[in-house]
Amino acid sequence: MTGGDLIADVLVRQGVRFVFTLCGGHISPILVSARARGLRVVDTRHEATAVFAADAVARLTGVPGVAAVTAGPGATNTITALKNAQMAQSALVLLGGATATLLRGRGALQDIDQMALVRPHVKQAVSVGRVRDIAPALERAFRVSREGVPGPVFVECPVDLLYPEDVVRAWYGAKTGGSPRGLGERARHWYIGRHLGRLFSGVEEDRTPDASPAVAPAPEPSRVRRAARLLGAARSPVLLVGSQALLSVPEVPALAEAVERLGVPVYLSGMARGLLGRAHPLQLRHRRKEALREADLVLLAGVPCDFRLDYGGHVNRQARLVSANRSRTELTKNRRPDLAVRCAPELFLRSLAERRDGPRAEWRPWLETLRTRDREREASIGEQAAEDAPGGLHPLAVCRALESALGEDSVIVADGGDFVGTASYVLRPRRPLSWLDPGPFGTLGVGAGFALAAKLVRPSAEVWILYGDGSVGFSLAEADTFARHGLGIAAVIGNDASWTQIAREQVEILKDDVGTVLGATDYERAAEGLGARGLRLDDPARLGPVLDETRAVAAEGRPAYVNVRLGRTDFRKGSLSI
């Protein structure tokens, strides 16, 4: 049993189906052993994409995603993606190659202190020192990644733990120069032999795998009862459900049922978009800030009071605030709730629903007020979409056409600034777990990795990436990955030749567009060169037909990229986040 075999066996036991990677000699045994055991090894063009894909697998399946990267630059290239997963609370395991145990600190290729670099961005970082410790360390990594507040775990695997023992002994024999001569050489030979003996000892010993599950933290019954009393006294309650409430993927249907049973007007954010389907009567989409400022009770389910809620400023100061969150820090961040429930928010909502008899008649006027505002905002968006947009198509018109084109089994991947922000007002995810965005880190570049995972996890679904022309630059080369692996993914690039989300405020406030100007690049031609089908859209009359063609190409198993020339609008003026 090589170290690569031991790792692959643990992955199989943990229910892993995919290993995302960019190859390197330090990790080759992991990849070979994984494929030999039936796991699909998916190689990408950048290590960040591999980690983004592992992140999305966790979000969509509840099983920690797995990425394997080589030493040195392979590990450093993952930092942004690791931090994104940490802040989004995604359970993943990153396997990192490392230099041979006896060569550390001696100038070996790609030898750096990876642990110091990675440790601040993961729940746990561990470096394995013996072959026999690989499986226990990896099983513990899976458990840690899922328990409490989920997050990424890093397991460093030195190269001499992964290859066959005879190969490793030959390597070290070559380094020592053959038969030892003199006392110093004999001592060196003895030391290496003893080290190798320790490295490989006990590999065949019987060991019971650690199969202990990670249990979601349940709410205290007394706090649920108090929340039920507060809800019973409310006349204008609002519920906000965030991504954290969907971390327990098997519980998602029960969560949706609980939200329906509660009957509280609800706003869905992040991964929670689509929880109630396309157009549920309880779900509101627009003018959330006004609702929060008028509500007399606000329920936060996996939603912290961070910049997205103006650090708690959006919530009426006279309202009673109830917050359920796995994280002790996020539970009281910026604003202390009247009732804090540290638990899995989906379990809190389920327990609360069991104590309520459904919506109260007193809430109907309040719900109708919110629905009226939604209808007014939708009408306004429709009017704006019909306006001229100098230089190209109106982004609202593009998004409305895409909304009409989306299939009932579709996944939307959001990777961009201004164009994606516009899309969030228009697109309606059709089902739970069908909207993927970076999360609170606001990371550009997630698109290809998220879409890669979504298409592998749900091969029959339509997978659409929404790119801005800024964000597409981070992962355009992954069109090659999609093509090589036969994945029909549809990408829509909103191209206005600008980093528009930044330019809006920069130009108005500072009177300079420096650093925000891009070229009107022919991204469809670049995609063609990478093995995808490229389409160009600059005629409003061709909007529907081109999107239909994009869907058809993707349905045949070939990636399709449509480059949409956008005009300029003031729809998202004043959208700077700080």
216 within a domain of the structure (yes/no):
no
Q: Looking at 384-446, which runs of residues are DSSP E strands?
A: 410-415, 435-436
Boundaries of domain holding 397: 386-565
What average pLDDT does this structure show over 328-346?
A: 96
pLDDT tens for 202-214 read 887 656 666 567 7
- The domain boundary residue, chosen from 330, 363, 396: 363
- The domain boundary residue, chosen from 167, 200, 233: 200
pLDDT tens for 165-194 read 999 988 888 555 556 678 877 888 888 888
- Please indicate, yes or no, whether residues 160 and 225 belong to a single structural domain of this protein: no
Give CA–CA dist 537/555, Å, rounded. Answer: 20
What average pLDDT does this structure show over 461-484?
A: 97
Q: Which residue has the tokens 């000892």?
A: 201
- Please indicate, yes or no, whether residues 450 and 393 belong to a single structural domain of this protein: yes
What angle is formed at CA 166 by the lines to CA 160 and CA 169, rounded to 5 degrees?
60
Phi, psi torsion values for 283, nearest 5 degrees? -85, 130
Q: Do residues 99 and 110 touch, judged by C-beta distance below 8 A?
A: yes
189 within a domain of the structure (yes/no):
yes
Higher-pLDDT residue of 208 and 6 is 6
pLDDT tens for 104-138 read 888 888 888 999 999 999 999 999 999 999 999 99
Specify the CATH number for the domain of residue 271: 3.40.50.1220
pLDDT tens for 29-46 read 999 999 999 999 999 999
The answer for residues whose C-beta is within 8 angstroms of residue 343's C-beta and 6 or more apart is 216, 217, 218, 219, 220, 324, 325, 326
Q: Do residues 152 and 85 touch, judged by C-beta distance below 8 A?
A: yes
- The domain boundary residue, chosen from 169, 200, 231: 200
Give CA–CA dist 433/271, Å, rounded. Answer: 6
- Please indicate, yes or no, whether residues 48 and 137 belong to a single structural domain of this protein: yes
Q: Of 68, 89, 87, which is closest to residue 156 (Cα–Cα)? A: 68
Phi, psi torsion values for 153, nearest 5 degrees? -130, 140
- Please indicate, yes or no, whether residues 345 and 493 belong to a single structural domain of this protein: no
262 within a domain of the structure (yes/no):
yes
- Please indicate, yes or no, whether residues 553 and 474 belong to a single structural domain of this protein: yes
Within 10 angstroms of residue 570's Cβ, the number of other Cβ atoms is 8
* R_g of the chain computed on alpha carbons: 26
The pairing of beta strand 65-69 with beta strand 92-98: parallel
Specify the CATH number for the domain of residue 416: 3.40.50.970
67 within a domain of the structure (yes/no):
yes
Give CA–CA dist 43/36, Å, rounded. Answer: 16
Q: Of 75, 92, 119, 79, which is closest to residue 19 (Cα–Cα)? A: 92
> Which residues are registered as beta bridge partners of 492?
466, 562
- Please indicate, yes or no, whether residues 177 and 278 belong to a single structural domain of this protein: no
Cα distances from 163 to residues 30, 41, 46, 169, in angstroms, run 9, 18, 24, 10
- Please indicate, yes or no, whether residues 159 and 86 belong to a single structural domain of this protein: yes
- Please indicate, yes or no, whether residues 154 and 261 belong to a single structural domain of this protein: no
196 within a domain of the structure (yes/no):
yes
Q: Determine whether 222 is exposed, middle or buried from the number of CB atoms within 10 Å of its CB (0-12, 13-18, 19+).
A: exposed
> Which residues are registered as beta bridge partners of 192?
none
353 within a domain of the structure (yes/no):
yes
- Please indicate, yes or no, whether residues 50 and 178 belong to a single structural domain of this protein: yes
pLDDT tens for 51-94 read 999 999 999 999 999 999 999 999 999 999 999 999 999 999 99
**Is the per-residue pLDDT at 382 higher than 90?**
yes
**Whole-model pTM above 0.85?**
yes
- Please indicate, yes or no, whether residues 431 and 475 belong to a single structural domain of this protein: yes
- Please indicate, yes or no, whether residues 161 and 228 belong to a single structural domain of this protein: no
Domain count, the chain: 3
- Please indicate, yes or no, whether residues 183 and 247 belong to a single structural domain of this protein: no
Q: Which residue has the tokens 């390197």?
A: 24
51 within a domain of the structure (yes/no):
yes
376 within a domain of the structure (yes/no):
no
What average pLDDT does this structure show over 483-487?
A: 98
At 548 the pLDDT is 96
The answer for residues whose C-beta is within 8 angstroms of residue 418's C-beta and 6 or more apart is 395, 468, 494, 496, 500, 501, 504, 572, 575
Within 10 angstroms of residue 131's Cβ, the number of other Cβ atoms is 25
pLDDT tens for 524-560 read 999 999 999 999 999 999 999 999 999 999 999 999 9
Range 442-445, long-range pairs (CB < 8 A, 24+ positions): 442/577, 443/80, 443/81, 443/83, 443/84, 444/415, 444/416, 444/417, 444/468, 444/470, 444/471, 444/474, 445/48, 445/52, 445/80, 445/415, 445/471, 445/474, 445/475
The pairing of beta strand 320-325 with beta strand 339-342: parallel
